[in-house]
Structure 1
């Protein structure tokens, strides 16, 4: 079959036609795109300053449960009346700081005053009786000791006379009868000394017993007087320990019985954080987890603590979680102070997360607006969320690290296919 050669001029015309066709197609595409831009809705316009925008990050994600609460004393002291009386004056009000010797209320009871005066008189009488008894016994003992000394002198003299007459009696100078009488007198004198010594010993034992009895009587009256004094002193009721007055139950004119309620005082140092955790999040909280307690919304003052107790029941729509705090607390901490607690539940080593959008819920799907075109526009994308933290949430799908999304309220343009950001 012979080769057919297309003339060169024909080839040039065909090539020119193809170029014209491609140019026409490109022009048509431009026209179509321009028409779409003009005709399709461009979406609402939103000021950037009115939006909160967050960037999707990847790394270590700490799952935290956030809950409001208040500082509570670990223990409260209820001050009660240790003696009956009538309230004469209330010296404190709820919220007052008190020291151990701060007076809370003053009571009056005339019977206690009279009892103290009577006890003082009885004690003085007992002391006087002890002194007079001791003096009388001492005088008696001294008299008996003088009597003993006289008896000893007489016995010594009789003994000397008997020894002297013994030789004279042998020489018949002194009659035997007189000598025997002298010997009998010496024996009697010695026996008298022994009897006197026995009487003194018995008296000494009796003296000790009488003094002991009188001293016991004085001690009893002294104890009664001390009790009466304590009862009168108890009419002035003090705090007993440093703290803050939580409530005052007594009022002027009120008659208080023994054990009647006066005030409730909370410690300023031994405090705990009582957090109200949502039931949906409380299942992840257990004793021993670390927590951070913020004393203000700005988080300028934080206290590290440990979860010490998780309530087994739901009360008023929340679960009570107690956080143990250190002994040394920052200035300004006091009972009933509102706080915000962050409890560290777990840590996910490598994951994607972002600041928590409004209405985002853990383990759920939602549509969020992702910024495109250099941040000039935002379009809705479907995102699946995972674990949540206090201010962040895990991203399981729908976003990539570096993406930026609107995390503030999007209710004004919800459902729009595109939003322009100016």
Structure 2
């Protein structure tokens, strides 16, 4: 005979069945959740950079590549075609004004100097000889004039006596005429001698002037050669660092060839190259930011060079601290030219997720999920970027590189 089951047992079995069903349901839900996690794209929070929209000041900048150069730099060129006789310094060496850097072979210059000095001495002798000849000729002509003056006085006296005797009929007409002709002849000879003195003076003066001119030319040539002779000992033009030098003794050098370059220490500026696309935005006195290894220096645009080469515009930047210990000659730096300022704008940290200004697709982060949205971006100074539209203060966005999931609409962010 069957016995009725104990109600407690029945109740316990029912609870076991319900508990089993609930456990199976929980396992199914957990399995679905895990499957969803496996199939849904995700990114680790450590692999992305998230920035929060906030109010801040942003500058519109133009990026450029810069090179540190000395404010004062001089090159020393070869004065003549010669060869290097002796090298006395090394590149990178600190030098003082007047220090001898190298010596050129000066034998041809010395020979040219000696030749010019001889020619100059010849011209001096020629001038002295011309002056002496003029004095001697002047003495001779003066003596001849004095004799002619005596002859003229005698002829006039004789002519006057003949005229008185003619009135008495004691002198013939022929003798009177001969006396008058003698006076005229003496006057003509005297005038010719005086003109000859003037002509002689002019002729000698012309010769002396020509010789003096040649003498001055030779003096200038001699001074030029003596200057070349002095320059054959190549000296530092001022105190600084020797940045380059011809170092091979015996090497031939041409006229005007670079022999040495000396740069001033602790006084630098920056030469920057900017795309000619931005040329119309550049102007002197604009603020400039220079960065190197995380360090920032300030400066101002000094000159925008008018020439465009290979699609770039060059500009010279004066630094607020040209003697900064961070600077080295020929060091490459990042340059940002500030063209405008905006205060109190909505900003995000700049990152590789952004590409210039305008409408851009970005990922907004909320509750562990990044969803694609669109932002209108404006000015950027390399550190901050202006958010013109599409966000409010407190919104968070991924600012690091998002190319790996650019085609997705949502991304799960894992810890």
Given the two structures, how large is their TM-score scaled by the length of structure 1?
0.63
Map residues 7-86 of structure 1 onto 2, 5 A cutoff.
56-58=53-55, 61-66=58-63, 69-72=66-69, 79-86=76-83
Aligned-partner SS, 1:145: helix
Over 3 Å counting, the alpha-carbon distance change for 1:210 and 1:312 in structure 2 is: closer
Residue 93 of structure 1: how far off its partner (Å): 4.3
Q: Secondary structure at the match of 1:229?
A: helix
2:271 maps to 273
What do residues 146-193 of structure 1 show as CA deviations (whole Å, max 9, x unaligned)?
Answer: 321331232123213322342234235667676555444433322321
Structure 1 residues 285 and 347: CA distance shift in structure 2, 3 A:
farther
Gaps of 5+ in 2: 1-44, 402-410
SS in 1 for 2:333: strand
Q: Partners of 2:278 and 2:263 in 1: how far apart?
A: 27
CA shift, 1:116, in A, is 1.0
**Map of 1:401 onto structure 2:** 393
Contact kept in structure 2, 1:356 and 1:391, CA below 8 Å: yes
Aligned mates of 1:345, 1:180 — CA distance in 2:
109
In structure 2, the CA distance between the partners of 1:67 and 1:174, relative to structure 1 (3 Å rule), is closer
Aligned length, in residue pairs: 345
| 8 Å Cα contact 1:250/1:261 also seen in 2 | no
Structure 1 residue 391, shift from structure 2 partner: 0.8
Structure-2 separation of matches of 1:102 and 1:383: 68
Please point out which of 111, 116, 128 is paired with 2:113: 116
Contact 1:246 1:264 in 2 (8 A): yes
Q: Distance in 2 between matches of 1:287 and 1:58?
A: 30
> Residue deviations 1:229-273, cap 9 Å, x none?
243234234567998654323433323233444235678989543
In the TM superposition, what are the counterparts of 1:7-406 in structure 2 within 5 Å?
A: 56-58=53-55, 61-66=58-63, 69-72=66-69, 79-91=76-88, 93-95=90-92, 104-172=101-169, 182-237=179-234, 245-264=242-261, 272-274=270-272, 285-289=278-282, 290=286, 292-294=288-290, 301-305=297-301, 322-326=314-318, 330-332=322-324, 335-344=329-338, 352-356=346-350, 359-362=352-355, 363-366=360-363, 379=368, 381-382=370-371, 384=373, 386-387=376-377, 388-395=380-387, 400-402=392-394
Local SS of the residue matching 1:301: strand
Gaps of at least 5 residues in structure 1 are 1-45, 314-319, 371-377
Deviations 1:175-219 (A, max 9, x none): 767655544443332232123223223323322333234334434
